[in-house]
Amino acid sequence: MILQELSGNSHILQTAFAAAGLFALLTFISHLNHRAKIANLPSFGGGDSREKSRNAYLQSAKKLYIDGYKKFKGQVYRMMTSDDEVSIVVPPRFLPELRKLPDDILSFPKAVDKSMEVKYTKILTDEPLISHSVKADLTPALVRLNPIICQEVDEAVKEELPPCEDWTTVYIYMKLVHIVAKVSGRVFVGPELCRDQDYLDSGINYTMELIGAQQAIKLMHPWLRPFLASRLPQVKNLRRREKLAKQFLEPVVQARRNAEKDPDYEKPDDLLQWFLNRTNDYGIDSTAYIAQMQLGTIFAAIHTTTLTTTNILYTLAVKPEYIEPMRDEIRQAMADNDGIITSRALQKMEKLDSFMKETMRFYPAGFTSFNRRVMKGITLSDGTYIPAGAIIEVPSHAIYQDDENYPSADEFDGFRFSKLRKGGGATEHARNQFVTTNEQNLGFGYGRHACPGRFFAANEIKMILARLILDYDIKNPDGVTERHPNTEVGRSTAPDASKPLLFRKVQI
């Protein structure tokens, strides 16, 4: 019967097929057109076939970006990545003109869709309320919240680290995941929930499983992803975890919304409340969606903060000469503030800030920055045309390794930035902080989407390190003289979570 109906309507079908065919043809032509335009740019990469280039990129993207930076100097070039997609590598001199372009020309969330494999990981990437609340509510609240955050750090460190009366092996990465989950939880959901085991488990396991899933997808051949990625065990785990986390968070959000109806209700002073304060302005009403926003923020905060702090401790463990000067500075900063780490005390920890920043220069979370999807073709000031659909990025790691930006760039100088601040005026102060973003400082991104959480992250990391440096001596396991190497997969890199450090309580 259906067949009959179909054949009866065959002229409609023919038209439909013709239209579909025409559409496919047009898509194909526009694809070719896009490729032809990209093909005008000089090419660079690790092989003469797509497959070789993809593997070279997976294994040695860091070197490819450095070599490309040297070879093309101030010029735009293209390079095959591991996602079976060409990336347009843009030198930093174009950043000031690019930052002026609006979101409908250069899209941040559309680039994250690819880098985070959002089709399969389903993480929330394009809710502007999140970054607005972090910027407009969380960051200004830090002056008031820092003493509370500091107490939470002290508690969490006490709970997570073993006594360490003598040198003790500590798998610091997992410890930091728990500390950061508690401390950021304090600011995200308040004092009760941030110590709730189910809250911590949801956030931590979601974060770990999301990273696991993302990595597994990146290693899968891009052509297979549409068919097989959602069947990967890591992705299945993530689906289950996401469901559990939402089952936990949704009632939390709902309870807050119910409580708000009481006129005498005293609103909690945390990010979840700040979200709720602004949902009307953003046309958001769904409890499930607000829970998803919370989960997305937890991920953005836990993963990056933990890996940055681990990188700093892995570096410090092989540079013990930095411990004593930083310990002195931390003691002094705190002595003026009754042992509490206030915003003022944090400001004074310039050596610590510098060490954190120099570590990030050597061990960033990624080798590129300012990753954006081009939504409408753009022409740069030197006439270079970049067509719609392309991914652009800036080779931040290569920029960090350029002597013109950082004298003796290949030398690790933990106090490089505090020395510049000490000698200089207001400009040197502003340009040499951990949170600085500009054309040479790209670890937190650049322009209108630069990380809004970096002020909170900087404070939190400083407080955690201050506690650890005050109370413990830290070193590598006996016989290990090299810093624990970071893992590298394509443009992303991370400390090896499976490595131990040795901790010992400072003998008084």
What are the binding residues for heme?
Answer: 451
Please choose which of ligand HEM, ligand NAG, none residue 108 contacts, taking the beta carbon within 5 to 8 angstroms, the exact cut-off set by kind.
ligand HEM
Question: Contact between 305 and ligand HEM (CB under 6 A)?
Answer: yes
Number of other CB atoms surrounding residue 59 within 10 Å: 15
Report the partner that residue 130 touches, choosing among ligand NAG, ligand HEM, none (CB closer than 5 to 8 A by kind).
ligand HEM
By beta-carbon proximity to ligand HEM, the closer residue of 45 and 366 is 366
Least gap, CB of 51 to ligand NAG (angstroms): 35
Q: Give SS3 for 108.
A: helix
Per CB under 6 A, 308 contacts ligand HEM: yes
Amino acid identity, position 357:
K
Residue 155 or 201 with smaller CB distance to ligand NAG = 201
Instruction: Please report, as a single letter, which amino acid is at residue 311.
Output: N
Q: How many CB atoms lie within 10 A of CB 290?
A: 24
The encoded tokens of residue 4 equal 């009959």
- The partner in contact with residue 456, picked from ligand HEM, ligand NAG, none with C-beta cut-offs of 5 to 8 angstroms by kind, is ligand HEM
By beta-carbon proximity to ligand NAG, the closer residue of 59 and 273 is: 273
Closer residue to ligand HEM, CB minimum distance, 82 or 125: 125
Q: Per rule CB under 6 A, is residue 68 in the interface with ligand HEM?
A: no
Of 394, 400, 368, the residue nearest 380 (C-alpha): 394
Q: Which of 324, 293, 355, 115 is nearest to 211 (CA)?
A: 115
Q: What are phi and psi of 493, to 5 degrees?
A: -145, 150
Neighbours of 289 (CB within 10 A): 16
46 or 395, CB closer to ligand HEM? 395
In this structure, are residues 472 and 504 in contact, taking their beta carbons and an 8 Å threshold?
yes
Q: Among residues 183, 300, 326, 374, which is the contact residue for ligand HEM, using CB under 6 A? A: 300
Biggest alpha carbon–alpha carbon distance for the chain:
93
Q: Binding string to ligand HEM for residues 443 to 472, with x set by CB under 6 A, is what?
A: xxxxx-xxxxxx-xx---------------
Segment interacting with ligand HEM, rule: CB under 6 A, options 194-202, 273-281, 310-318, 438-446:
438-446
Residues 368-397 that bind ligand HEM (CB under 6 A): 370
Residue 216 makes contact with ligand HEM by CB under 6 A: no
- Verify binding: residue 294, ligand HEM, rule CB under 6 A: no
* Rounded-to-integer distance, Cα 369 and Cα 394, Å: 5
Residue 492 touching ligand HEM (CB under 6 A): no
320's tokens: 């013990």
Residue closer to ligand NAG, measured from CB, 158 or 267: 267
Specify the residue, 297 or 476, whose C-beta has the smaller distance to ligand HEM: 297
Piece of 28-36, 258-266, 296-304, 492-500 that binds ligand HEM (CB under 6 A) = 296-304
Q: Which stretch binds ligand HEM (CB under 6 A): 321-329, 373-381, 382-390, 439-447?
A: 439-447
Shortest CB 437 distance to ligand HEM, Å:
8
Applying CB under 6 A, the residues found at the interface with ligand NAG are 201, 205, 267, 269, 273-274, 277
CA-to-CA dists, residue 422 to 160, 273, 332, 405, 416, angstroms = 36, 40, 16, 19, 10
Residue closer to ligand NAG (CB basis): 247 or 286 = 247
Closest approach, Cβ 159 to ligand NAG, in A, equals 16
Partner that binds at residue 46, options ligand NAG, ligand HEM, none, CB closer than 5 to 8 Å by kind: none
- The residue behind tokens 């809710």 is 127
Q: How many CB atoms lie within 10 A of CB 472?
A: 20
Strand pairing report for 86-89 and 391-394: parallel
Q: Which residues are annotated as a binding site?
A: 451
Q: Closest distance between ligand NAG and the C-beta of residue 236, in Å?
A: 14
Q: Which two tokens stand for residue 378?
A: 């753009």
Phi, psi of 374 (to 5 degrees): -80, 120
- Tracing tokens 């250069």 back to the chain, one arrives at 106
Q: Can you give 21-86 as a three-state secondary structure string?
A: HHHHHHHHHHHHHHHHHHHCCCEECCCCCHHHHHHHHHHHHHHHHHHHHHHHCCCCEEEECCCCCE
Whole-angstrom distance, CA of residue 51 vs CA of residue 60: 14
| Interface residue list for ligand HEM (CB under 6 A) | 108, 130-131, 134, 297, 300-301, 304-305, 308, 365, 370, 443-447, 449-454, 456-457
